[in-house]
Amino acid sequence: MFRLYERRICLLRDKMNEFDALLMASSMNIGYFTGFFPGFQSLLFVPRDDEVVLFLSRADASLAEETCRFRVEVVGKEGYVEKLKVLLKEDVKKVGVEESLEAGMFSRLKREFPSVSFDFFGGLWDIRSVKSDEEIKAIRKSIEIAEAGLRAAVESISVGVRECDVAAEAEYEMRRLGAESFPFETIVASGSRGASPHATCSKRKIRRGDAVVIDLGARYEHYCSDITRTVIVGRNDKMEKALSLVIKAQEAALSMVKSEVSCSELDLAARKVLEREGYEKYFLHSLGHGIGLEVHEPPSISSTNKANIREKMVFTIEPGVYMHGVGGVRVEDTVVTEKKKGKVLTKLPKEFFV
């Protein structure tokens, strides 16, 4: 397993270009490159040629020593800066930092090391956004768990049941099947509440004629899933039409997925379907997002992102329609890019009626 992380570090070094070293502080970046996901403040130092060093809190030390095969340094009262002074030698002129580094840490580094040039390094996502077979396998398992949770949610829906009770059934089933945690708060939004894309769940009781938006995910071996389905309770012709159009919009985008197609082209394909029926104005967000260790990662499948998708990128396609005061519908699936097509990893039916 250590060879996997050594390969990732080699890929990182290949992209360092003008940088003599890199610094990372986010748990997900550190975990991706070392196999250890710290729970407390940590710092990963990756020099161009020298030894990789992980600085971390005493609270993380014992677990890190079991998990991480790179050099581990426990930081005490002296703090991270004093530890770095030993490593930032005279030949280190330019250091790259991750784009998510806290402003306070960035400012302090520049103040404490005036002879070193610190700048943002954008190459991390070039590596992380293309998934390995091992990562795709973990994402598949995470999706399987989330699908079981969504089925449990659907089976619990009936007139008079509270949204929060539906969410509880889904989360229990996902935990039972091995979910380590949930990458975001489970959404169960019924009736007019469904018009808000991120409405989470409430004590509202589900009524006949409601469209119920269920959006949930699981985390398995650190990797996330993200699935949305809309359940029609009884009959609602208006929401059923909207759901049918959203499914067609999703299918239009999915049919175009392959290497070297731009993210904006996928977004446009879905919007055109809704636009023809006068529903494009109700589509309030981008079409999708990358998924992996984090539930929202590059690539952004949006009208403004002209970058091409690449083989083995994993992302969601999730068109939606949100009508204020009426309700909303959304369908979200996860797809992996192959050379000539996209492979949908989600297996659930697109429509549910109870």
CA pair distance 247, 8, nearest whole angstrom:
38
Per-residue pLDDT reduced to its tens digit, 252-273 = 999 999 998 999 999 999 999 9
Note the pTM of the prediction, 2 decimals.
Answer: 0.93
Q: Using the 8-state DSSP alphabet, how is residue 13 labeled? A: H
For the stretch 177-212, pLDDT in tens is 999 999 999 999 999 999 999 999 999 999 999 999
Asked if the model's pLDDT at residue 1 lies above 70, the reply is no
Identify which has the larger pLDDT, 103 or 342.
342
Q: How far is CA 14 from CA 9, 21, 64, 178, 297, in A?
A: 9, 12, 26, 37, 22
Nearest-angstrom CA–CA distance, 8 and 10: 5
41-72 per-residue burial string, b: 16 or more CB within 10 A, e: under 16 = bbbbbbbeeeebbbbbeeebeeebeeebebeb
Mean pLDDT: which of 1-15, 52-66, 105-119, 326-340 is highest? 326-340
What domains are defined for the chain?
A: 2-128 (3.40.350.10), 133-353 (3.90.230.10)
Report the mean per-residue pLDDT for the chain.
94
Q: Residue 221 has what pLDDT?
A: 96
Whether residue 77 has pLDDT greater than 70: no
pLDDT of amino acid 314: 98
CA distance 315 to 332: 10
Spell out the alpha helix ranges (H) of 99-236: 103-112, 124-128, 133-156, 163-176
pLDDT reported for residue 270: 98
- Residue 150 CA to residue 217 CA, distance in Å, equals 9
In terms of Cβ atoms closer than 10 Å to its own Cβ (0-12, 13-18, 19+), residue 33 is buried
* Length of the chain (residues): 354
Quickly state the pLDDT bin for 89 (edges 50, 70, 90).
confident
Predicted confidence (pLDDT) at residue 78 exceeds the cutoff of 70: no
* Pairing outcome for strands 227-232 and 314-317: unpaired
Residue range 142-150: mean pLDDT, rounded: 98
pLDDT of residue 84 exceeding 90 = no
Please say if the pLDDT value at position 308 is more than 80: yes
Q: What is the mean pLDDT of residues 275-292?
A: 97
**How large is the average pLDDT for residues 337-349?**
93
Q: Which pLDDT belongs to residue 101? A: 85
The pLDDT of residue 83 is: 83
